[in-house]
Amino acid sequence: MSAASDAQTIRCRAAICWAPNQAITVEEVEVDPPKAGEVRIKVLANGICHTDLHLYTGHTTGSEVKYEYPCILGHEATGIVESVGDGVTSVAVGDHVMSLFNGQCRECIYCKNPNTNLCLKRSFDEPRMSDGTARFRFNGKPVYHFLGISSLSEYTVISEIQVAKIDPKSRMDRACIFSCGFTTGYGSAVNVAKINSGSAVAVWGMGAVGLAAVYGACKAGANIIIGVDTNDSKITIAKQIGCTHFVNPLKCEEDGKSTVDVIKQITNGLGLDFALECVGHIKPIEDAIESIAPWGTVVAVGVYPGNKNLEISPNTFLTGKKLTGALFGGYKSRDCIPLLVDEYNRGEIDVEPFFTGNIKLEEVDDAFQKLLKVKALRTVVLF
């Protein structure tokens, strides 16, 4: 392990996504040393997140999200700092760290504004490093970055502002979920929606992010928590995490009812105080807006295709209804996320139900297929 001036190019294995709906293959790549403001990390664990799946399937095609193929996916990672570039001060060689796709430079006008967790120094979806080049090569040609992280590689290079030091005693194959999935859902419930005790809540999508939102609603003391999903196989885990009710939109149609009708019935006609859409489709957003009470709040958490737009009359919001969005649970990343890991380490947060199992790097394409077929929540690649 060394400073950048001593660091050499590393040859290691990485999982390359060549194009939408093409099998990911594990290849030997070259990983350059970190440049100024960058950190090279030996990856220990990486969670397979649904956001990775969006690029794997082409769901983000036409959207504002930036991407280039071929690329190395992965953004939920823990690891050890192998080398650092010039000017890096917040982490050092040998530190145990986590990746944070949403960076925090702590210096720009956005980072100093308490009303946003965005950062002007680097967009969270940049497919190249800040100098416009990639740090990965395969057969002499560049392989691009995903969300600035690309942690489905034995080694990766990340901007310092997307890396945070964590307690080395943390369980690395569990702490990685705080790099995206759990934090996004949980924070959207407790930090953005600000769910309060006794409230009625519905969450669309019982994947890892949606279940984390359910967990947050439960911790906040919500009285009614409705899980909405088209897959009845999610009922057990939804109830285990904290749902008091489960609604399957397909079953509603079979019964001649709408999802909105059933939710209104559950809430005695009043509607929801809070609704969180964690799927990434327009119809659930529309249903959520119809399902909330006149004072209710809808939080859009999913990643939506760029060719779909929401059409709604502004008059909908005259009664006090609110529609807002949430990126990374609204948290300032480097300041807040390590504190969530500390809560987990103290036993105050339980993420164990979110994990399906651990796999090796060469099994990563199978893991994506299982996620696509709704046969997994969070699978972790161990390096």
| CA dihedral of 183, 71, 168, 105, whole degrees rounded to 10 | -70
Q: Which residues of the chain have pLDDT under 50?
A: 1
Question: Residues 127, 132, 133, 135: is their CA dihedral positive or negative?
Answer: negative
What pLDDT, on the 0 to 100 scale, is given for residue 227? 98
Q: Specify the residue for token string 């990911």.
A: 24
For helices 50-57 and 364-372, what crossing angle results, to 10°? 90
**Whole-angstrom distance, CA of residue 57 vs CA of residue 212:** 23
Predicted pLDDT at 2:
54
AA letter at 352: E
Sign of CA dihedral 64, 66, 71, 77: negative
In the chain, the domains with their CATH numbers are 2-179+351-382 (3.90.180.10), 185-327 (3.40.50.720)
Cα–Cα separations (whole angstroms), residue 224 to 13, 241, 246, 264: 47, 13, 11, 12
Sign of CA dihedral 289, 321, 218, 376: positive
Report if pTM > 0.85.
yes
pLDDT of residue 1: 44
